Amino acid sequence: MPEAERIQQLAEAVRYHRELYYNHAAPEISDADFDSIWDELKQLDPDNEVLHQVGPEPLPGTLKVEHMFPMMSLDKGTSDEDIVHFVTQSTTGGIQYLAQPKLDGSALSLEYIAGNLHRAATRGSGEKGEDVTLNAKQVANIPTRLNLPVDCHVRGEVVMPLAIFEEKYKHVSPNPRNLCSGALRQKHGDGKADASDLIFCAYDVKFVKDPPVVTHDSELLHFLKNSIGIEPAPWKIFSSSAPQKEMIEYTKEWIAKRPSYEFEIDGVVFKLDDLAQRENLGATAHHPRWALAWKFPSQEANSVLLDVDWQTGRTGAVTPVARIAPQMVGGVTVENVTLHNVGEVERLGIRIGDKVTITRRGDVIPKIIENLGPASDLDLQGRTHADGSVFIGELITGEIQIPTDCPACGRTLTMEGAFLRCIALDCDARTTRALTYWCRTLEMDGIGEKLIEALLERGYVTTISDLYKLTHSQIASLERMGDKSATNAIDEIHSSREMALSQFLHALGMPRIGPEVATAIAQHFVSLDEIINWAREGEPDSLTSVDGIGDKVAEIFLQGVIERLSLITELISHLEISPEEVSDLGIFSGQTFCITGSLSQPRKRIQELVKKAGGKIVSSVGPNLNILVAGEKAGSKLSKAESLGIEVWSEEQLNSQLTNENRTQQASPKTIFDY
Ligand SMILES: [Zn+2]
């Protein structure tokens, strides 16, 4: 093929695939394939215009950006002494300090020109990062326009809320951090995570010109928040004569708060607040002298794999639990850790008798993260159990035996991806767990796992619906159950008969159907009858129109309902399941919205505003749609809405409605119920 023709062909291909990515979010080829087309074109014709007029912005990761203000790394510390040293030596004479949680995500620099988002770049080497503007614009709280026409660089960390990670991504990646950088750097919107699931937390701002007149960093954070309109990570000021004591105290507070915090954090950053003092101290070749990144004490440690037990869970997944030599990690002695699934055992290439690295974070079950190869006798020595008694064990080596039969019911197991599964719905283990999950979700605190096991053993219950047929004398006849506890249990069962549809769906304990997903599904169908009809038709597709529910979850939910149809029908006769209430607060309550076209804010942000005002979001235009919000280049959805006679709003119309909403909310006087 003549070169000119090939160039023409490559340029066409770049244009075509870029169009799919930008305007249709429907990539046909992988990033790697796109890169090879791009590279070939660049080699043949480096000046080809298609390489330079890349839509509005370059494709994430293809362009290096030199940081006008280098993103330096910070000096690190892990102990109380490090904080004392920082205050009394490194920054001696410092008067006021500022602390912020050290967020564990991906660092990002946002460059604004005259208040407009000009470019977003990753940290990279600190001197040079990568242009990721396209993806950064998807992040819900990164404004494309600031409240003031300033020229500045806002620095911060992009993080994923742990709730979203748990709900949508924990099967995809071991931690939210990897997803953050992947989501920012993906080229074709085909990464593991959506950038719209990320949040930006600012910690610094630098002005290119005309900085506000301030003397302290904390004033800049206030300025960011109140004048510019970007939310900084929370901060705290220390200004006593010997602040190190309170600063150490503060790290302890964060250690306690960490497991329940919204985002993953790995420490606390301390900085001198006075900007002139910072200037005087300057920086070493590696880091500024006025800041300290204090990291939480290590939550990793080494031990030896002694044995592996297999347990069947509520969903039928058979998981390996590793028995290890006792090891202190994150403040507790651990002897059992999870190995997740068969795939993980294979990935680690682990054998009995291997030395392993374990990690434990907050409330999470400790896990093995690395295989260090065969252990020696020395690795077993000097260990004590949690009660202080000395651990005695000898080193045994061997393969991990992967079971073929269910450890609970003995039926043959099947492999599903990385998981070993017992598919028998009446499997003892599954029934125990399903019943336990039901009782826990519906807050029947008096009915724990032991009681459920006893009831199963006696044959008093075989399914969840049998719970509602239990009699007082049956429960009272069990060992250790008196008259009073039996009465309590019966009362609890009785008072759990009434529930909302979302609670019912959640309590059934299907994989990946947590409270949020259950609520979204319940609001979509409103009644259980609708769900049963839908399941009988066996078409998962209609469920994917619900925001946050993809093909996979829709399929899991459909299969879950089909498997449980007889259980559900039985349960209906014992329960009172109320139809799901769709939020009736706000002016948009009861109305469905679809949002299309290009808008001045990320679509996700607009969706949130509509939902806050009580509206429901759908992704397609149909006869039940009330309002289509159409931005520029709205396309087929707009013509379809017009042909159906559906009301169409511009973004301005939507905004003015939302402003009315805010005014009404502010104007209405508080009643006693508001307090
Ligand atoms: Zn089984």
Domains detected in the chain? 3-55 (1.10.287.610), 75-295 (3.30.470.30), 300-419 (2.40.50.140), 428-496 (1.10.150.20), 500-578 (1.10.150.20), 592-667 (3.40.50.10190)
Q: With contact defined as beta carbons under 8 Å apart, do 142 and 110 qualify?
A: yes
**42, 102, 612, 637: the active-site residue:** 102
Distance (angstroms) between ligand 1 centre and the Cα of 313 equals 9
Burial of residue 131, with CB atoms counted within 10 A of its CB: 0-12 exposed, 13-18 middle, 19 or more buried = buried
Distance (angstroms) between ligand 1 centre and the Cα of 193 equals 34
Distance (angstroms) between ligand 1 centre and the Cα of 536 equals 27
Rounded Cα gap, residues 516 and 502, in angstroms: 9
Distance (angstroms) between ligand 1 centre and the Cα of 420 equals 11
Distance (angstroms) between ligand 1 centre and the Cα of 398 equals 26
Spell out, as residue ranges, where the chain has pLDDT lower than 50: 54-56, 664-675
SS3 154: strand
Distance (angstroms) between ligand 1 centre and the Cα of 309 equals 15
Distance (angstroms) between ligand 1 centre and the Cα of 131 equals 51
Closest by CA to 97, choosing from 205, 227, 199, 249, is 249
Rounded Cα gap, residues 628 and 623, in angstroms: 12
At position 181, the amino acid (one-letter code) is: S
Rounded Cα gap, residues 420 and 656, in angstroms: 54
φ and ψ of 356, to 5 deg: -130, 155
Rama region for 391: left / alpha / beta (φ>0; ψ in -120 to 50; rest)? beta
SS3 370: strand
Q: With contact defined as beta carbons under 8 Å apart, do 291 and 74 qualify?
A: yes
Distance (angstroms) between ligand 1 centre and the Cα of 337 equals 22
Distance (angstroms) between ligand 1 centre and the Cα of 519 equals 30
Is 42 catalytic? The answer is: no
Distance (angstroms) between ligand 1 centre and the Cα of 317 equals 9
Distance (angstroms) between ligand 1 centre and the Cα of 316 equals 7
Q: What is the pLDDT of residues 230-283, one digit of tens each?
A: 999 999 999 988 899 999 999 999 988 887 889 999 899 999 999 999 999 998
Distance (angstroms) between ligand 1 centre and the Cα of 412 equals 8
Q: With contact defined as beta carbons under 8 Å apart, do 434 and 568 qualify?
A: no
Rounded Cα gap, residues 311 and 449, in angstroms: 15
Distance (angstroms) between ligand 1 centre and the Cα of 575 equals 28
Beta-sheet pairing, 576-578 with 498-500: parallel
Q: What is the pLDDT of residues 594-628, one digit of tens each?
A: 888 888 877 777 887 887 777 887 777 877 789 99
Whole-prediction pTM? 0.49
Distance (angstroms) between ligand 1 centre and the Cα of 467 equals 21
Rounded Cα gap, residues 508 and 576, in angstroms: 15
Distance (angstroms) between ligand 1 centre and the Cα of 266 equals 40
Burial of residue 5, with CB atoms counted within 10 A of its CB: 0-12 exposed, 13-18 middle, 19 or more buried = exposed
Distance (angstroms) between ligand 1 centre and the Cα of 424 equals 6
Which DSSP symbol is given to 662?
H
Distance (angstroms) between ligand 1 centre and the Cα of 416 equals 15
CA 311 to centroid of chain Cα atoms: 27
Rounded Cα gap, residues 594 and 637, in angstroms: 9
What are the CA-CA distances from residue 2 to residues 9, 37, 44, 273 (Å)?
11, 17, 12, 64
Distance (angstroms) between ligand 1 centre and the Cα of 431 equals 9
Return the H-helix or E-strand segment holding 121. Answer: strand 116-122
Distance (angstroms) between ligand 1 centre and the Cα of 403 equals 12
